[in-house]
Amino acid sequence: MPKGVLFDLDGTLLDSAPDFVASLDNLLTKHNRPKLDPEIIRSHVSDGSWKLTSLAFNIDISDEKCSALREELLEEYESNLLKHGGAFDGIEEMLALLEKDDIPYGIVTNKPLRFAEPILINEPVFQNCKTLICPDHLDAIKPNPEGILRGCKDLGIHPTECVYVGDHAKDIEAGINAGTQVVGCYFGYSLQADDSAEHILGANHPDELYELIIKL
């Protein structure tokens, strides 16, 4: 059983896709562009706002227009935080079981503090989160292990005593780079069961996370 757990946020603890779908819909309507299939948006949420902007407007990330459109998207998303999405079903129960076992948890995300902090404040499920590590706190983001190593330090544990849980290949890579155990979330936005090596444990639903975590 681990002494602590660190989680990715989007696609792992938080189903933020509905907020992004609404935000992109509003932005595309504003620019008289056709809406994207919600499933396409969902599959790219964990790839970040640059990717979503590029997809929505069919432009390259290097295009100077992309930066301005991305900022419009982020402003729209900020106004939609938790309006349509929230913690995945089963996450509240999983976190309660960890708390019952006296296993502290934190969040290491590539999501900027501007968005992550209000989510933690306003989503009661995350009230017992012990640390929040965002790109604002770091020199390098995942798959670099810096954030996970900092999270372990905040929890007062060694990386070998920690499990990192995420839904993207970068999450798995970052956890391995940090020296933690890792669990993949196949119910999230990016990682698929056949993407990971056989030795990587994965959950098809949040209900499966607790049992996978405590066996490590």
19 noted as active-site residue: no
Query: Which residue's entry shows tokens 């929040």?
Result: 132
Alpha-carbon distance 111 to 121, whole Å?
15
Strand pairing class (105-108; 4-7): parallel
**Buried b / exposed e across 138-162, counting CB within 10 Å, b at 16+?**
beebbbbbbbbbbbbebbebebebb
Count, residues in the chain: 216
Residue 205, CA atoms < 13 Å, CB-side half-sphere: 5
Is residue 8 annotated as part of the catalytic site, yes or no? yes
- Please list, in sequence order, all residues whose beta carbon lies within 8 angstroms of the beta carbon of residue 17, skipping any fewer than 6 positions away: 11, 38, 41, 42, 45, 85, 189
- Please give the positions annotated as active site: 8, 10
